Amino acid sequence: MAPRVLVSDELSETAVQIFRDRGVDVDFQPKLGKDKDKLAEIIGNYDGLAIRSATKATEKLIAAATNLKVIGRAGIGVDNVDIPAASRRGIIVMNTPFGNSITTAEHAVAMMFAVARQLPAADLSTQAGKWEKSKFMGVEITGKTLGVIGCGNIGGIVCQRAIGLKMHVIGYDPFLSHERALEMGIQKVDLDELFEKADFITLHVPLTDKTRNIIDHAALARMKDGVRIINCARGGLVVEADLAEAIKSGKVAGAGFDVFEVEPAEASPLFGLPNVVCTPHLGASTTEAQENVALQVAEQMSDYLIKGAVSNAINMPSITAEEAPILKPYIKLADCLGAFVGQVTESPIKAIEILYDGVVAEMNTKALTSALLAGLIRSQVADVNMVSAPVMIKEKGIMLSEVKRDKSGVYEGYVKLTVTTENQTRSIAGTVFSDGKPRFIQIKGINMDADVGANMIYISNTDVPGMIGFMGMTLGEGGVNIANFQLGRDKQGGDAIALLYVDEPVKQEVLDKLTAHTAIRQARPLVFNVD
């Protein structure tokens, strides 16, 4: 059955056709996003939801989306999606961060020109029949210092354009290396130095706890007299009231704002001030950008629903279409390793360590970790998946660490999971053979070579004579058929392990009879999805 996607905002017919061409059943209702009650009524029928900004994917809507697997936002901002709620429900949230990058960067540069030459006010004056040539004295951009806060995708394009305009560009970005800054032709500085040196300041960062109010009264006081400030990124980065006071006092010579603390912005302390240029969040509003992000979100959602490829996800590691078939057997392995430990562990988990060895260490281990964590907690939370599992682990305060190393044994690569609980440490390792099927190769430090079966019994015991016979007899009396088994031990008379492959789940009374034997420490049923 083809996956179903609801498009509840305006997307182009070309984008809608992409869904159809990729084998997705698409329901195009571009006005539905404004009717939250009707949307909540029908959202449970869909695997995907494609939106722009009109649709609000709230916690209430997400709770009603019982079959939803992915939300695709045509654009970079996901303010209208409750990402924590989506993550808890295991719904991937995608955006399209590159489709409108050039458009937004160009708008920032245009705002800089408009503020430098007071273009909107001069236009209004001239069209009103006035000729106030001396009133609108501007400044040149050439040779001025531009301070760029956030030198990522959009900020990087602004840097390129500004260098072309013969500006001196300085940038503040915690993730910008000095090497990358040299490649871009800009100077990396700290935030205080940027404030002190910049003639123009433009912001290109997301709104987070660290960036909220990054420009406030104290920041403005450290800036040059006559600085001009551009914000085409997110409302809330600048304290508008503080900026308004700085403009009134003459400290700031002008500002260009496309985004506001409250939107739609029907009022702002910046409105009506001299040389303040305001636009209604037009950063992505070009024909090219709107089409690009629509096509991109349709392609991304289709790739995920049909191929399992994940692109530009906010809450899950990306998996390219090329990676997906290679990763698939290892994702299954990771899930099985997690599921094994999750089913045999009784006490609360305090720490998780995942070792990636050999060729596996070179793969997309973020995706493998997500799959392993999902398997680990599935015995406690039935509907967990690769999206929600990392969130749950973090919320539980469980310490998680990953280790990668070069090939160290006979296998080309393997994954080892070690879990520390309040009472003990458990470990299991596995690999994928040429047949593409997961194999357990070590349990509790004991080497094995075991397939993964749909129904298994894990038995941990002391190595004493007669155990195989006892297990077979006990299960036989309980009406359980053993299809196969794998045994291992660390030494004669030491710790031993048995993995019994059975035809169906085993009743607790049969397990109780097994653990009645003094040499058996644990007998646990294991269930795996081997499809």
Determine contact, residues 510/475, Cβ cutoff 8 Å.
yes
H helices of 205-322, where?
A: 217-221, 240-249, 287-307
Instruction: Please provide the DSSP assignment of 454-500 as one string.
Output: SEEEEEEEE--TTHHHHHHHHHHHTTPPEEEEEEEESSTTSEEEEEE
- CB-based contacts of 325-329 (< 8 A; 24+ apart in sequence): 326/363, 327/363, 327/364, 327/367, 327/368, 329/432, 329/436, 329/437, 329/438
Phi, psi of 84 (to 5 degrees): -60, -40
Residues 68 and 48: their CA atoms lie apart, in Å, by 6
Instruction: Give yes or no for a contact between 159 and 145, defined as CB atoms under 8 angstroms apart.
Output: no
| Nearest alpha carbon to residue 293 among 316, 312, 279 | 312
Q: Coil, strand, or helix at residue 183?
A: helix
**Cβ neighbours for 441, distance < 8 A, ≥ 6 positions apart:** 411, 414, 429, 430, 431, 447, 448, 449, 450
Chain mean position to CA 330: 20
**CA 8/CA 508 separation, integer angstroms:** 49
**Residue 331 structure tokens:** 């994702």
**Using CA of residue 334, residue 363, residue 19, residue 306, what is the dihedral sign?**
negative
Give the separation between CA 489 and CA 498, rounded to whole angstroms: 9
Q: Which helix (H) or strand (E) holds 430?
A: strand 425-432
Q: For residue 169, list its beta bridge partners.
A: 146
Select which of 132, 140, 196, 263 is catalytic.
263
168 is catalytic: no
Catalytic residue among 117, 281, 439, 517: 281
Strand partners, 277: 256
Q: Which residues contact 17 (CB under 8 A, 6 or more apart)?
A: none
- Active-site annotation holds for 59: no
Exposed, middle or buried: residue 388 (CB in 10 Å: 0-12, 13-18, 19+)? Answer: buried
- Choice among 88, 204, 228, 234 that is catalytic: 234
Q: Is 281 a catalytic residue?
A: yes
Strand pairing of 48-51 and 92-94?
unpaired
Closest to 437 measured CA to CA, from 520, 318, 530:
530
In whole angstroms, give the CA distance from residue 72 to residue 61. Answer: 15
Q: Identify the bridge partners of residue 405 per DSSP, sorted by sequence position.
A: 357
Residues belonging to the active site: 234, 263, 281
